[in-house]
Amino acid sequence: MKTILIVEDDQIINEMLQKILQSNGYNIQSAYSGTEALLLHNSSIDLIILDLMLPGKSGDEIINELKNIKNVPIIIASAINDIDKKLDLFKLGADDYVTKPFNNDELVARIKVHLKHNLNNKNETLKIGNIELNPKNYKVMCNKIDINLSKTEFKILKLLMENSNQVVTKSTLFDTVWDTLNSGDENTLNVHISKIRNKLKKANPKKDYIETIWSIGYKFKN
């Protein structure tokens, strides 16, 4: 089930969006300010609906910061209907724009399109530094050297790379890699992480790619 972050300071609109999206089968996280949105956005979020007129940091101020945490589709929902403003927002990294008051069915349709497009993009090769990961053929290269990973190791590295420089919690790894929270255990995860580290280290002894965040999870470092 996909998770959508609603960033809207108007409580009535925020709650209305929650009901609409929940009725369409989405998990919801809600923020009422730009600062709260930055705190809530993490590896579990799949799409963001972002208002512009927010207390503290405005919507246009945080687009780039949100993208740096995790690059997911951002749909701007605002009463501002100025073409130059819209073009500026697209330059900042926004993926779509709906003008308030918007049609609920149109918004849901736009969300579905962006989520589908984003899913397709996950099959593209990930390139971070001197590591390349190809989801289509399960191939990984480090320092131009082929790395032989098991399917589980590949899934772990892919998730860490998709959220580079962000902490991926152990529970997120269990949930994503093993499908359910109960299918993996901490010792098994630690063994897989150790194997990935050793294989990358052989290809590039000068760099440590995966940082342990004790008792929380792991982080892939650029």
Angstrom distance (rounded) from CA 13 to CA 54: 13
Instruction: Quickly list DSSP for 57-107.
Output: S-HHHHHHHHHHH----EEEEES---HHHHHHHHHHT--EEEESSPPHHHH
Q: What is the mean pLDDT of the chain?
A: 88
Give yes or no: residues 136 and 115 share one domain: no
Give yes or no: residues 44 and 116 share one domain: yes
Query: How many domains does the chain fold into?
Result: 2
Q: Is the pLDDT of residue 222 over 50?
A: yes
Six token digits for residue 94:
């926004």
Question: Which of these, 120, 218, 128, 211, lies nearest to 176 by C-alpha position?
Answer: 218
**Amino acid identity for residue 155 in this structure:** K
Angstrom distance (rounded) from CA 70 to CA 121: 14
| Residue 165 CA: distances (Å) to CA of 70, 102, 153, 160, 170 | 10, 36, 19, 9, 15
Q: What is the pLDDT of residue 180?
A: 45
Q: What is the pLDDT of residue 8?
A: 96
Q: Is the pLDDT of residue 120 over 60?
A: no
Last residue of a domain, one of 93, 121, 149: 121
Last residue of a domain, one of 121, 143, 165: 121
The residue-averaged pLDDT of 11-33 equals: 95
Domain span holding position 47 = 3-121
Identify the three-state secondary structure at position 213: strand
Q: What is the pLDDT of residue 2?
A: 86
pLDDT digits (tens, 9 = 90+) for 171-209: 888 877 875 444 567 888 999 999 999 999 999 998 999
Give yes or no: residues 196 and 211 share one domain: yes
Q: Please, are residues 3 and 31 in contact by the beta-carbon 8 Å criterion?
A: no
